Structure formats: structure tokens, C-alpha cells
Amino acid sequence: SQLTQSYISMGHLGGLVDDPNYPALSVLNGVLNGFGGRLFNEVRSRQGLAYSVFGYWSPNYDYPGTFVAGGQTRTEATVPFIQAIFNEIQSLQQSPISADELAYAKESILNSFVFNFQSPSQFMNRLMRYEYYGYPADFVFQYQRGIKATTVADVQRVAQDYLKPEEITTLVVGNAEAMEPPLESLGSLVQMLDVTIPGS
């Protein structure tokens, strides 16, 4: 049977947790991703293009992480879905977020710390991780201070400096013949791979 949905994964190389701009990038995540984020509100709720949608900066401790985005959409909405994600990235780069968005993202991050330290073992595991990767023991408190200090201008700055739409690679699993407009309309190099299961 033919696929009626497209599964989309987009991304480019990211950075490290100890980047001085990690707190601002975390706030950017809060604005872009999750329930109440721009992708959910715009791509899923307002435009109705997605069954699910996500996008976030995901760093690692000792090697570069990734910026990833994507989700699921109906086949005929594949190209508009991809374009909508690019539009939201560009919007973050071109226009400041609102004060309400900043406050909501910061509050969500700071409130999440309650669940990260519910037991002594959770706290010890975090300290051991910092020790293993050579991070200062008070790194989490430095991070909290960084979140509190993040401004609207900081979020726009890191969106401009760290999100690189021109470097994004996009993987689409779906029925290319039913995509209208076709993937080629995005103006990028498209490589088609036949992953049909023999005998299906």
C-alpha cells in the first residue's frame, strides 16, 4: 500500500553544552519547540500542516550535537510543511520574539529543574556527569543564571549565529509521486532512494 504520510527529519551540525550561549539557545528552544511553541502554534494549529512537529538545538557534552527539526504530515502537505519550518527559523532570525514568549520559555526551563533534582541520586548523577566531562561542579547553577539573564536580543542573536538554514539536510520518507508540489520545488538538490520492500 502507498504511504499517506511523510516523515520528515531536518538538521545540521550543532554545538556543545559548555558554549557560553547555551542558555540563550535553550530559551530559543522554548520559543520554537513544544506545546505552546511557534512550530506547534503555527505549523500544526494555525496552518494544519502537521500531525506532529518539533525543532530544537541539541548539544552534547564532548562532541558537537545537532540542530534538528521535523515531524509527520500528510503526503500532499510535505513541501508546505518543510517550507513552514524554514519560515519559522527565518522569523526568529529576522524579528525579535515577544516579551511574553521570552517569559514563558524562561519560566518553563527554570520550573523543569524541580523535576531534575527530585532525589539525591539524580543530583549525584548530574555531578558525576559534570566531573566526567570536565565541567565545573556548579555548572547547573551557572546555566540557571544564564537562563535568567537571557534577553529578547540574545535569542535573536543566537538564532542568527547558530541556526543555518542553508546548511540543513532534509530527509523525507514518503510517497514522492504523490507530493504536490514536488520536493524539487524547494530548489535544493534532491536525491531519491527507493526503499520499497521487495514483494510488498
Strand residues in the chain grouped as ranges (E): 5-13, 52-58, 66-74, 169-173
Q: What percent of the chain has pLDDT over 90?
A: 75
Residue 196 is assigned to a structural domain of this protein = no
- Cα angle: 54, vertex 59, 63; to 5 degrees: 140
Residue 195 is assigned to a structural domain of this protein = no
Tally of domains in the chain = 1
Residue 179 is assigned to a structural domain of this protein = yes
- Burial class from Cβ neighbours inside 10 Å (0-12, 13-18, 19+) for residue 19 reads middle
Residue 139 is assigned to a structural domain of this protein = yes
pLDDT digits (tens, 9 = 90+) for 44-67: 988 888 899 999 999 999 999 999
Residue 30 is assigned to a structural domain of this protein = yes
Query: How far apart, in Å, are the Cα atoms of 27 and each of 108, 112, 173, 175, 188?
Result: 9, 13, 30, 36, 30
- The per-residue pLDDT for 200 is 59
Q: Which CATH number does the domain housing residue 123 bear?
A: 3.30.830.10
Residue 14 is assigned to a structural domain of this protein = yes
pLDDT digits (tens, 9 = 90+) for 138-181: 999 999 999 999 999 999 999 999 999 999 999 999 998 899 89
> Which residues span the domain enclosing 122?
5-186
